[in-house]
Amino acid sequence: MSLQLTFSTSDRFFRKSSFLLWPTGSGAPNSRTYLCPANMQNEDLFKQVVAHAKEYGFVFQSSELYDGLSAVYDYGQNGVELKKNIREYWWRSMVQLHQNIVGLDSAIFMHPRIWKASGHVDGFNDPMIDNKDSKKRYRADVLLEDYQEKNRQKIQKEVEKAAKRFGASFDESMFIKTNPRIQELAAANERIDQILKDGLESGELGIVKSLIEELGIVCPVSGTKNWTDVRQFNLMYSTQMSATENGEDSLYLRPETAQGIFVNFLNVQKTGRMKIPFGIAQTGKAFRNEIVARQFILRMKEFEQMEMQFFCKPGTELTWYSHWKEARMKWHLSLGADVRHYRFHDHVKMAHYANAAVDIEFEFPFGFKEVEGIHSRTDFDLGRHEEFSGKKIRYFDPESNDSYIPYVVETSIGLDRMFLLTLCRCFKTDLSGGEPRTLLSLPPALAPIKAAILPLIKKDGLPELAERIFNDLRYDFACYYEEKDTIGKRYRRMDAIGTPYCITVDHESLAQEDVTLRHRDSMHQERVKISALRDILSANTGMNNLLRSL
Ligand code: GAP
């Protein structure tokens, strides 16, 4: 079968609200959280991360040899390991740690009616607008969101200025409530939200165009306001099931993995004798025709999702929603991120079938962006599949002795986005030793290589002993053996890919049966017995400690 990708055309379901103003301060994340530290808003840092990802074999542009394919990327020798470890941490935290969550691997190709039932055929659209001078295409809602972000930054500046002026006596929330300039900016943002919502819901896209014109939004490339009308584009790719392209066999590349879970609900529930509440977890590729692909692997046309649909009794869904919201934030923070770089972004305007939705956002060098969504999807999906398939999708509850369509709470995280987050968060330049040292301070359990075994020099029996250590450890840990270059250069290469430990074999090792263990982040070196290495690596690089912290 030849895979033909054609572009089919047509509001994303979970359209976001503007932020509420959020208070400064620390503590556990809640729905009105964190100011971003100014030093993270750093485009240069991001450029360095992107260059580093390529130089050290983490991420390559797809089809680079043929000048590349926009918004599609390949993972290199270190990237694939890091990605696999993030996926594994998610999977084990969801499936291994929960007796009532099981896994699934459903096919990418699914019956086309599934996408009609899910609403993707009619409603999975982005409103696009073109600039006639630059011929560049933009998402109309993103142009407006960027405008709103500028307003939020202005508000932030006003708050910071006032905090400096008033010192310890500054009452931030009172200032926000009463300052006329802030009120004006916040009202402007609310108005944009309202007009955008009205335009998208009613299909009157003319009012969205008029708003873009009224706000004087210009094309970042041409600098002009010469805009086309706003039109809806469907984000699904379509292809053919068979060789004959008569349109009847056309099907879609899945834009989310969730539907594969919904259509297998009964299969898993019955064969696994699952009792509600229970969850089904799945990781896999999803495809979206993202016209405006930006910021490296943040928004791709082919990407991977890690999703879990939690089926519960109607009426209990909001309790489970709160549970998963907190549990997922805990998962993120378990990886060592500073709590101030995370925030919740509640959706104020809900999709018609959702009764609660929130994004977990991370502060990338280019600002806060969604990494994961937690959505209370009610019985919409299972109900629609019941309707479209003509088959009952009900759960008989032995406790209440009734049968119902379960409600669903979904957790949906992008693996590639989590990967980018991890790179951005862990990329560091250490200036403490004079010469700048680039390192990835990855959580050891996520590091592509756990230990590098390095003979100090290539003779006197040091390579033989180092190889013996390598051959002993490699069955349990991802290890790397290298004897080329000076030991300093080898340490730097391992720092750059995030290897937490370097084990150096020197002349003393031959007599004493010990080695130098070098720690990546502190560069601290200690002498340890060869016989102790396995226990040290197990205790410090395994995933169990991370899992236990959840
Ligand atoms: N099943 C629900 C769903 O798909 P979503 O908010 O559209 O919800 C979930 O996507 C997550 O998938 C996002 O939080 C993001 O991390 C990731 N994601 C979505 N579109 C993406 C894209 N084009 N490229 C990379 N990751 C993407």
In this structure, what CATH number is given to the domain that contains residue 530? Answer: 3.40.50.800
Domain identity same for 61 and 73: yes
Q: Is the CB of 290 under 6 A from ligand 1?
A: yes
The pLDDT of residue 29:
37
Question: How is residue 32 annotated by DSSP?
Answer: S
Cβ neighbour number for residue 505 with a 10 Å cutoff? 27
Distance 480 CA to ligand 1 centre (A): 34
Q: What element of type H or E holds 409? A: strand 407-414
pLDDT tens for residues 232-262? Answer: 999 999 998 876 555 556 799 999 999 999 9
In this structure, is residue 158 part of a structural domain?
Answer: yes
**Which residues are CB-contacts of 11 (< 8 A; sequence separation ≥ 6)?**
123, 125, 127, 200, 201, 232
Q: Is the CB of 256 under 6 A from ligand 1?
A: yes
Domain identity same for 256 and 401: yes
The pLDDT of residue 294:
72
Q: Is the CB of 300 under 6 A from ligand 1?
A: yes
d(CA 451, CA 199): 56
Proportion of the chain in helix, strand, coil states, percent, rounded to 5: 40, 25, 35
The pLDDT of residue 245:
55
Distance 521 CA to ligand 1 centre (A): 32
Domain identity same for 178 and 155: yes
The pLDDT of residue 43:
79
The pLDDT of residue 41:
53
Give the closest residue (by CA) to ligand 1 atom 21: 299
The pLDDT of residue 12:
52
Domain identity same for 226 and 273: no
In this structure, is residue 160 part of a structural domain?
Answer: yes
Domain identity same for 387 and 449: no
Give every residue of the chain whose pLDDT is below 70, as ranges: 1-41, 243-249, 293, 349
d(CA 64, CA 52): 17
The pLDDT of residue 262:
98
Distance 331 CA to ligand 1 centre (A): 18
Q: Which domain holds residue 463?
A: 442-549
The pLDDT of residue 250:
77
Given ligand 1 and candidates 412, 415, 416, 424, which is best to mutate, with the most ligand atoms within 8 Å of its CB? 412
Give the closest residue (by CA) to ligand 1 atom 16: 414
Question: How is residue 96 annotated by DSSP?
Answer: I
Q: Is the peptide bond before 277 cis (omega within 30 degrees of 0)?
A: yes
The pLDDT of residue 36:
33
Give the closest residue (by CA) to ligand 1 atom 20: 299
Q: Is the CB of 14 under 6 A from ligand 1?
A: yes
- Cβ burial 311-331 (10 Å sphere, 16+ → b, else e): bbbeeebeebbebbbebbbeb
Distance 256 CA to ligand 1 centre (A): 8
Domain identity same for 251 and 227: no
Residue 415 CA: nearest ligand 1 atom is 16
**Which residues are CB-contacts of 442 (< 8 A; sequence separation ≥ 6)?**
82, 422, 426, 498, 500
CB 517 within 8 A of CB 525: yes
Distance 125 CA to ligand 1 centre (A): 14
Domain boundary among 208, 231, 254: 231
Distance 489 CA to ligand 1 centre (A): 39
The pLDDT of residue 435:
87
Residue 377 exposure: Cα atoms within 13 Å on the Cβ side: 27
Domain identity same for 521 and 540: yes
Q: Is the CB of 254 under 6 A from ligand 1?
A: no
Q: What element of type H or E holds 244? A: none
Domain identity same for 512 and 496: yes
- If one counts the domains in the chain, the total is 3
Contacts within 8 Å (CB) and 24+ apart, 534-537: 534/472, 534/473, 534/476, 536/501, 537/450, 537/451, 537/473, 537/476, 537/477, 537/501
Q: pTM for the whole thing?
A: 0.85
Q: Is the CB of 305 under 6 A from ligand 1?
A: yes
